[in-house]
Structure 1
Amino acid sequence: MQPATTNTDTQQSLWQELQVAKLGLQRGSDGSISWHPDSRDHPRHWSAARKSFDMTVIIFFELFVTVVSTTGACVSRAAQPDYKLGKVNSILAFTFMYNFGQAIGGLLTPPLSELFGRRIPYLVSSAVFGSFCLIISVVPHPAAVWAGRFVAGFASAVPAVVTAGSIEDMFDGGQRVWLVVLWNAGSTAGLCLGPVYGAYITSALNWRWVYYSSAIITAVCFACFLGIQESRPSQILEKKIAQLHDLGVENLQWFNPDHSPDTKTRFTLVVIQPVKLLATEPIIALVTSISAVSWGMIYLFTESLPDVYQSMSVGFTQTSSSLAFLAFIPGILLSFLPRLWDRRAVSMRLGRGERIEPEDKIAGFAIAAPALAIGLMWFTWTIPPALGGVHWLVPSLALVPVGFAVNEVAYTLSGYLTDAYLLYSASAFCGLAFVRALVSGLMPLLAQQMYPALGANIAGTLVACIATVFCLAPWVFLRYGRTLREKSPFAKHSLESHLRSGIPSISNLG
């Protein structure tokens, strides 16, 4: 009888392993269930059509909410008579509240993609964003603007946080670098398209249609999000484990990286740790300061640039002056070129058997810092009243290096934080995103006070001088970056843990 029992047990064991294999999984030597390397259900093995559809919807949604973020300055002027708001209060309501909501959302929403995966946060974000854009449009009370812009900003933080995770889920290192460049360029271009979008819709219809149209476009995004698939591997694996359990497969042990800790631990990771890193880490403080001011330049221009072009003697109207923002976009596209240099430098290092350091991939920043200073100074001293007879194309060309610099600084410095802090990179980036959103929200208020009081030339010179100081930063990173990382308990512990894992850095291989 014993051999028969053994034979039955063997058949049952083989049947269970067959069920595991059918779902694209495997059982390791320790008995735990994990993905089979060739599983077609893993997001990195999805078809090109599936990945293309999902990423197109995701990147477009991120681009569009960024467009809506910079409509605030234009719309605030048009809405002042309706609500009898002063200029400062109107800017606060339409611009600062959006960025304030985005800053808070950037701190509080990262755990959402761990708890609920990718698809649900996208659906909720697009639904909430569209709903509150509609509220701004139809409710004739300033409170609707204050609350609506805050909540819409909060919801806009979700794609900013989750898109990076979606790219990580679906693409390996070699492919991912170009997706991240495209995503980053799209976000920066969205900042520049917002003033044009707001100005022309306001002129053709009225300011409420800026948010009517936003609600309609976001509703289309919501419908498209219904068609994307969940891409977080741990979420998909959890469902497959549940299927195996229902089939009667035993010993379903698996590693869940999304296991939710207690509330206190989560609060520490989400709120306390980013603040602690920002306050105690010189690298993070420097990167955050530069990135926030650079990114905020576009918001500064949303308030000052239309007035500058209207002061020229060539007949720019309040609407047509917004077209000046298109001059940033060729510069943004130039950011694809430094990636070729990065890949070449990384390949040469790997060919020599050397470990890639975070400082090896900031060559673009070393170009972007002086480009920002030069572009701002060039623009400042080729506009009225300093020069009144210069063709409008001359200052417009100065915006090309500014667009390149803003996009390149955002890309290289966020990547530098990821490479330098590895294990703590999410916390480091949360602090950066929080400060960047707040600074961006304050920039139109600063421009509204500074440019009329000092004049466009003096105010612009002050801004260009700040950018000039940032030219020292690449030298600081190249000369002292490694030393600062070695002295940092966070960066040092993160690197040691990473090296013990024996897994090469994907970002470095990209």
Structure 2
Amino acid sequence: MDDAQRRLQSHLDEMRLEFTPDRHFVRWSASNRRHPRNWPMVRKVYDSSLIIWLDLFTTAVSTAGSSAANSAQQEFGTEPTLSIFIFVSIYLLGQGLGGIIFPPYSEAFGRKKLYIISTGLYSIFCVLVAVVPSLGRIEDMFNAKDRIWLIFLWAMVSNMGLITGPIMSTYITAALGWRWVFYVAAIVLGITTSLLFGLRESRPSLLLVREVARLRQTTGMDDLHALNPDHTPDLRTFVRLALFRPVHLFFTEPIVFMVSPYPPIYESFNFSAESASLPFLAIGIGLIAGILTRVCDNRILQNHRRDGHPLTPEHKLLGFTIGAPILAGALWWFAWTIPPHVQHLHWLVSTVALVFIGYALNEFDTVLAGYLADSYLSYAASGFAALALLRSCISAAFPLFASQMFRGLSANVAVSVLAALATLFCVVPRLFTQYGERIRARSKFAKHSLQVYHDNGVDKNGY
């Protein structure tokens, strides 16, 4: 080894970097404290808390639109369906479109700027909605074991947003008018935007490029290159490789593909328009109950590691397997303990069913999000984007016919239709546990993601 090579190796050791086995690229060493997986816990907690809070509040705003729509339709004289479309469906369709563009952008160019810009614009556009006079990071920082709890927390808080949104908007609308739903959102998001400046960029490949740029400057060796599978030299390359990745996953990846009307029901129990949404806090109790399932997940993972068995995403499907039959049973329970066909039961009887519905729905979100994160690893954002596109399209369409469905069929029959679909869905967890590993084995992108992860990660013995 000549002097130049010794100096280079000294700089690599000092910066906690190393060559790939073929010595063509520079990558992270497992002990590098600047890799997001090795950041101090305080930093991880700050960044993760802001992201989870952002998801909670934006989800709450998305569901708050339904209450605002009811008041706005009276002001503007629009049909109920059109008002729902404007205040709810357009939001969700925009969410689906943004889910196609921004997650792959974050994979190619980093996370921090995207969070700041998008949240700031969100705040501004909430003001525009209010004043108008007429008519998605965790994988970077946490390994598979820690992701069990982080993804559960993210899913639970997100679903809490679904519950708190209608309650928040109902009371704000009653006290101040529907426009203040968006004024409040703008104020809160403006404050959140300022806090986002304290985030640290967490995309490992982008951070590695910066580290190697410092190394080139220090050593004067311009032929050193970072191991960066996300490299996008120009906009055309980004559009071709990254922007169409979620669309490609949506239509070609079997892993992804497998993966509003209730307040009037409680008004029929003689609840006021404001308090009719309060029984749905029972869903929140069900969300918290998911802690018990995460404890079981951790025990399963510890047993596999103790026995030396390889860990796969299918080992974390317990909540999915339990949640499917619970959801079906709880929907049947809810369907036939509410008016109009069942008149004499206390409202608490149906509310207990909401606890189990909340538990099951949160298990679906937690397990499926974790499954995508474990399957696509560093490219999990694109997997989430494909799933979000499907969910946003369905969520945007459902409010347009849900009210007519509940009025035309009665709440009992309408919920029974959902219960029947949930009953048929009970076969899906079995398909995941029996065939999931084979499906992933046929997925070229899942295998590519795993290889990229091993090349760029610091958890060399697992994910």
Q: Give the alignment's TM-score, normalised by structure 2.
A: 0.89
- 1:372 paired residue number: 327
The answer (yes or no) to whether the contact 1:195–1:325 under 8 Å persists in 2 is no
Tell me, in whole angstroms, the C-alpha distance in 1 between the residues paired with 2:279 and 2:376.
38
The answer for the alignment partner of 2:443 in structure 1 is 490
Shift of 1:385: 1.3
Alignment partners' CA distance in 2, 1:235 and 1:499: 17
Asked if the contact 1:67/1:192 (under 8 Å) is kept, the reply is yes
Distance in 1 (CA, whole Å) between partners of 2:451 and 2:189 is 43
Equivalent residues of 1:346, 1:509 under 8 A apart: no
Aligned ranges 1:8-407 → 2 under 5 Å? 10=3, 17-26=9-18, 30=23, 32-142=25-135, 160=136, 166-250=137-221, 251-260=223-232, 266-270=238-242, 274-279=246-251, 284-287=256-259, 302=260, 304-312=261-269, 315-407=270-362
Whichever residue aligns with residue 256 of structure 1, its letter is N
- Structure 1 distance, partners of 2:226, 2:11, is 16
Q: Which amino acid aligns with 2:117?
A: V
Match of 1:451 in 2: 406
**Separation in structure 2 between the aligned mates of residue 483 and residue 110 of structure 1, nearest angstrom:** 27
Determine helix, strand or coil for the equivalent of 2:213: helix
SS at match of 1:259: coil
- How many angstroms does 1:370 deviate by? 1.1
Residues 202 and 210 in structure 1, CA contact (< 8 A), matched pair in contact too: yes
Offset from partner CA, 1:179-237 (integer Å, 9 cap, x none): 12111111111111110111111111111111001010001111101122222233333
- Residues 1:36 and 1:413: Cα distance change in structure 2 (over 3 Å): closer
Deviations 1:330-384 (A, max 9, x none): 1111122222222222333344433334433212111111111111111111111
Q: CA deviation at 1:66?
A: 0.9
Aligned residue identity for 1:414: A
User: Per the alignment, in what secondary structure is the counterpart of residue 262 of structure 2?
Assistant: helix
Q: Distance in 2 between matches of 1:47 and 1:232?
A: 16
RMSD: 3.1
Tell whether the 8 Å contact from 1:173 to 1:507 is kept in structure 2 after alignment: no
- Percent identical pairs in the alignment equals 39
Q: Give 1:446 shift.
A: 2.2
CA distance in 1, matches of 2:195, 2:248: 39
CA pair 442-324 structure 1, distance change in 2 beyond 3 A: farther
Q: Give the letter for the 1:106 counterpart.
A: G
Q: Displacement, 1:23? A: 4.0
> What's the CA shift for 1:278?
4.0
Residues 91 and 445 in structure 1, CA contact (< 8 A), matched pair in contact too: yes
Flag the 1:415–1:118 CA change in 2: closer, same or farther, 3 A.
same
1:434-471 deviations in whole A, cap 9, x for unaligned? 01111112222221110111111111111111111111
Q: Distance in 1 between matches of 2:371 and 2:28?
A: 30
Counterpart amino acid of residue 82 in structure 1: E
- Structure 2 letter corresponding to 1:45: N
Structure with the greater relative contact order (CA < 8 A, sep ≥ 6): 1 or 2? 2
When the two structures are superposed, what TM-score results if normalisation uses the length of structure 1?
0.81
Q: Distance in 2 between matches of 1:243 and 1:57?
A: 29
CA distance in 1, matches of 2:264, 2:217: 66
What is the letter of the counterpart of residue 88 of structure 2?
A: T
Q: Following TM superposition, by how much is the alpha carbon of 1:425 offset from its aligned partner in structure 2, in angstroms?
A: 5.8
Q: Describe the SS at the equivalent of 2:284.
A: helix
Q: Deviations over 1:10-43 (max 9, x none)?
A: 3x66655555544444456727433343333232
Aligned equivalents of 2:450, 2:20: Cα separation in 1: 22
Q: Which amino acid aligns with 1:285?
A: F
8 Å contact from structure 2 (residues 208, 226) kept in 1: no
Three-state SS of the structure 2 residue aligned to 1:34 is strand
**Mean CA deviation greater in 36-45 or 496-505:** 496-505
Provide structure 1 residue ranges, at least 5 long, that are not aligned to the other structure: 1-5, 143-159, 161-165, 288-301
Q: Using the alignment, how far apart are the partners of 1:454 and 1:186 within structure 2?
A: 33
1:482 shift after superposition: 4.6
| Preserved contact between residue 104 and residue 245 of structure 2 (Cα < 8 Å) | no
Which stretch of structure 1 is more off in the superposition, 224-233 or 32-41? 32-41
Alignment deviations for residues 153-181 of structure 1 (CA, whole Å, 9 cap, x no partner): xxxxxxx2xxxxx2222223332321121
Which stretch shifts more, 436-445 or 259-268?
Answer: 259-268
Instruction: Give the Cα–Cα distance (whole angstroms) in 1 for the partners of residues 138 and 263 of structure 2.
Output: 36
How far apart are the structure 2 equivalents of 1:277 and 1:118? Answer: 21
Once the 2 structures are TM-superposed, how far is the Cα of residue 77 of structure 1 from its aligned partner?
0.1
Sort the Cα spacing of 1:507 and 1:348 in 2 relative to 1 into closer, same or farther, 3 A.
Answer: farther
Aligned partners of 1:278 and 1:285 also within 8 Å = yes
Instruction: Go from structure 1 to structure 2 and tell me whether the alpha carbon gap of 1:417 and 1:218 turns closer, same or farther (over 3 Å shift).
Output: closer
The SS at the match of 1:377 is helix
Unaligned runs of 5+ in 2: none
